[in-house]
Amino acid sequence: MSTPNAGAPATAWVVYRGEAPLWWLRVLKPGFRHCLALLNDGRRWVAVDPLAGFTDVAVLDLPADFDLPGWYRAQGLTVDAAALRRPSGAAPWGPFTCVEAVKRLIGLRARRVLTPWQLHRHLNRSSLRHATVRP
């Protein structure tokens, strides 16, 4: 997978984790109990991890061409590329979860996407649909 060059538009990836430190997360699909976002603007990596008590935002001290999504995949985690959208108007109401935070970060308006597994399936359906469209 290539990483954007300097001056390229920002690109996002969603990383899914399987840990369940909170008991109610154990009802979610294993491997898809939490999600976080990675952003790359061609110069730096930013990780946005919406946790239960706070949101951790970190500008990572990595070369811009470092394959951070690939590193997460090598750790055994699932990673999806996500298009960055900037829709106008207010986002639909939803409970503030890691999924809702990531959806708002990437500009995804998908009311019925509530769990990390649903987000994974939605992003993969969207990428397959866009991959088959020919100009």
- pLDDT tens digits, one per residue of 59-98: 999 988 899 999 999 999 999 999 998 888 888 888 899 9
The beta strands (E) that lie in 2-135 are given as: 11-17, 34-40, 45-50, 55-60, 78-82
CA 94 to chain CA centroid, Å, is 17
* pTM score: 0.83
Q: Which helix (H) or strand (E) holds 103?
A: helix 98-106
pLDDT at 134: 37
Burial of 120 per CB tally in 10 Å (0-12, 13-18, 19+): buried
Residues forming beta bridges with residue 49, ordered by sequence position: 56
The CA distance from 130 to 95, in Å, is 29
- pLDDT tens digits, one per residue of 90-124: 888 888 999 999 999 999 999 999 999 999 999 99
